[in-house]
């Protein structure tokens, strides 16, 4: 719960602001002038200050200046009944986050409060992540977010990662499943050993065994030299099997044996090779449905999914979008050799209003597009509206799917969801008619609707 200090010499104004802020769920303290405000800041910690300018004993500008010397990261919103452009400019120069005229427009005022608190959180998260990254592999991006959904992921990581338990990461395409797997490795006692990632959907079924277990020279046509497989490469560390639901049934049996015996045998080889590997998997498929369809082994599933971590879709954590967009903006400006750019408050608010069906991957691509195409250093809401429009008709087009899902497995899932949504609209939600039209059993349709979160 955010703690806000209200500083105003009029008791009626303080009471009105206090009631309004408490209705929004904030904890409130009061002071009658700047000197009292400084005493309150010295005695307790606050996330935001709402301060009048015209006050006895110590006015708001003097209070702002002294408070900023001692608490430079603390955001201030200044309020005055005598608003002028000169006053606003002076307040911003002294470090105020925003300037609001009395009586404030309610909607504008509440947005200003939320934005100020969000800006403080951005700085706090940035500082914390910089400190954390200084102690770990700098190549692993931070797991950004303070939403309830991402906090659940972080809490599970804190408890599960240091163990040796196998972990299954589930979630939609582009939601950050591999990043979670990387953090499982980084937070474990295996972090000094290799982290090897294998995309099971990208490897042809006749080559997957060679990729995982290796092969001897001459084992098959084209095997001109010995190849060390992913299990051996990851010895002592972590093997990440991405899109494990796309692994062939034959390869699944051999993976199961490797997990049971902690041994692998290269294709064409005769010796068993001991390996010490922690396996982390990821999938955007419903593996229980795949088990029913006999395309995925039940015994392998239970070996892999000792602990399940769900990577939440971006639409379920919109409050994290400003954090992510700001982080991507900093990284991608440097990568694209652009001057350091930043988002306006309005631009971040607009980005946060989108549903982002392509999840974090789509947001990443959108930020890079904005960095390249926007002309000024500040990316505005107009830029976002011009160059980013994930909520519009292109989402219902094949070209949109091509753009957002470069891998065939992701494209297949997205196309199936789009197809079902169109049929739901076409037949006005009548499952029986849809079943007849698309030649799919009702039970399978219901399972797919659940999988894609189609509730209406």
Domain 314-391, CATH number (from 3.30.70.60, 1.10.8.60, 1.20.1050.40, 3.30.830.10)? 1.10.8.60
Q: For residues 179 and 184, what is the distance between their CA atoms, to the nearest angstrom?
A: 9
Q: For residues 239 and 230, what is the distance between their CA atoms, to the nearest angstrom?
A: 7
The encoded tokens of residue 83 equal: 């608003």
196: Cα within 13 Å, side-chain hemisphere: 21
- The SS3 call for residue 353 is helix
* Domain ranges, ordered by start, for the chain: 3-126, 148-311, 314-391, 398-451
Q: For residues 428 and 421, what is the distance between their CA atoms, to the nearest angstrom?
A: 10
- What CATH class is the domain 3-126? alpha beta
| Residue 393: per-residue pLDDT | 34
| Residue 137: per-residue pLDDT | 47
Q: How far is CA 36 from the centre of its chain?
A: 41
The burial of 264, by beta-carbon neighbours within 10 Å (0-12 exposed, 13-18 middle, 19 or more buried), is given as buried
Same fold, 3-126 and 314-391: no
The reply to whether omega before 103 is within 30° of 0 (cis) is yes
| Residue 92: per-residue pLDDT | 85
- Write down the CATH number for the domain with range 398-451: 1.10.10
- Residue closest to 142 by CA, chosen among 153, 333, 388, 366: 153
Q: For residues 96 and 115, what is the distance between their CA atoms, to the nearest angstrom?
A: 13
Q: For residues 240 and 439, what is the distance between their CA atoms, to the nearest angstrom?
A: 36
Q: How far is CA 156 from the centre of its chain?
A: 15
- Residue closest to 97 by CA, chosen among 126, 127, 122, 131: 122
| Residue 296: per-residue pLDDT | 94
Q: For residues 403 and 400, what is the distance between their CA atoms, to the nearest angstrom?
A: 5
Query: What's the average pLDDT block by block, 10 residues per block, for the chain (456 residues)?
Result: 91 92 93 94 90 91 90 89 75 87 85 87 60 51 89 92 94 92 93 91 85 88 85 93 91 93 90 92 91 93 95 91 93 86 90 87 91 89 79 47 65 81 82 88 87 74
The burial of 302, by beta-carbon neighbours within 10 Å (0-12 exposed, 13-18 middle, 19 or more buried), is given as exposed
pTM of the model: 0.58
Q: What are the Cα distances from residue 352, in Å, to 124, 167, 326, 331?
A: 19, 30, 12, 19
Run of H or E residues at 334 = helix 321-335
Q: In what order do the strands lie in the sheet with 76-80?
A: 27-31, 3-7, 48-52, 76-80, 98-101
- Nearest 5°: CA angle at 320, between 314 and 322? 115
DSSP for residue 380:
P
- What CATH class is the domain 148-311? alpha beta
The encoded tokens of residue 279 equal: 């396996």
């Amino acid at each position: 719960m955010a703690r806000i200090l209200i500083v105003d010499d009029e008791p009626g104004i303080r009471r009105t602001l206090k009631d309004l802020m408490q209705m929004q769920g904030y904890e409130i303290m009061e002071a009658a002038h700047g000197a009292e405000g400084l005493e309150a800041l010295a005695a307790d910690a606050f996330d935001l200050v709402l301060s009048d300018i015209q006050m006895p004993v110590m006015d708001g500008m003097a209070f702002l200046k002294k408070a900023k010397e001692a608490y430079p990261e603390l955001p201030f919103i200044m309020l005055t009944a005598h608003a002028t452009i000169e006053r606003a400019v002076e307040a911003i120069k002294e470090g105020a986050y925003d300037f609001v005229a009395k009586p404030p427009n309610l909607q504008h005022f509440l947005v200003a409060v939320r934005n100020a608190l969000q800006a403080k959180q951005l700085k706090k998260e940035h500082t914390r992540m910089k400190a954390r990254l200084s102690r770990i592999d700098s190549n692993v991006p931070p797991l950004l977010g303070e939403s309830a959904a991402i906090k659940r992921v972080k809490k599970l990581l804190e408890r599960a990662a240091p163990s040796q338990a196998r972990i299954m990461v589930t979630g939609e395409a582009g939601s950050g499943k591999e990043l979670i797997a990387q953090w499982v490795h980084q937070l474990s006692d295996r972090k000094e050993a290799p982290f090897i990632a294998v995309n099971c959907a990208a490897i042809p079924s006749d080559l997957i065994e060679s990729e995982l277990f290796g092969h001897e020279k001459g084992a098959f046509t084209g095997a001109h030299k010995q190849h060390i497989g992913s299990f051996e490469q990851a010895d002592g560390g972590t093997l990440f099997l991405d899109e494990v639901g796309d692994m062939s049934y034959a390869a699944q049996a051999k993976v199961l044996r490797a997990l049971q015996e902690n041994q692998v045998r290269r294709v064409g080889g005769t010796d068993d090779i001991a390996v010490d590997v922690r396996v982390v998997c990821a999938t955007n498929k419903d593996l229980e449905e795949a088990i029913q369809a006999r395309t995925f082994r039940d015994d392998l599933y239970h070996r892999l999914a000792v602990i399940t971590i769900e990577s939440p879709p971006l639409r379920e954590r919109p409050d994290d979008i400003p954090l992510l967009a700001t982080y991507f903006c900093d990284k991608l400006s440097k990568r694209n050799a652009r001057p350091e750019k930043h988002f306006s408050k309005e631009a971040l608010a607009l980005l946060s209003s989108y549903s982002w069906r392509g999840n974090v991957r789509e947001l990443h691509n959108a930020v890079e597009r904005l960095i390249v195409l926007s002309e000024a250093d500040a990316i505005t809401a107009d830029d976002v509206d011009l160059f980013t429009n994930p909520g519009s008709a292109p989402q219902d087009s094949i070209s949109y799917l091509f753009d957002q899902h470069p891998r065939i497995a992701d494209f297949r899932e997205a196309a199936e969801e789009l197809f079902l949504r169109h049929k739901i609209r076409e037949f006005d939600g009548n499952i029986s008619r849809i079943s007849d039209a698309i030649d799919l059993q009702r039970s399978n349709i219901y399972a797919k609707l659940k999988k894609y979160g189609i509730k209406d």
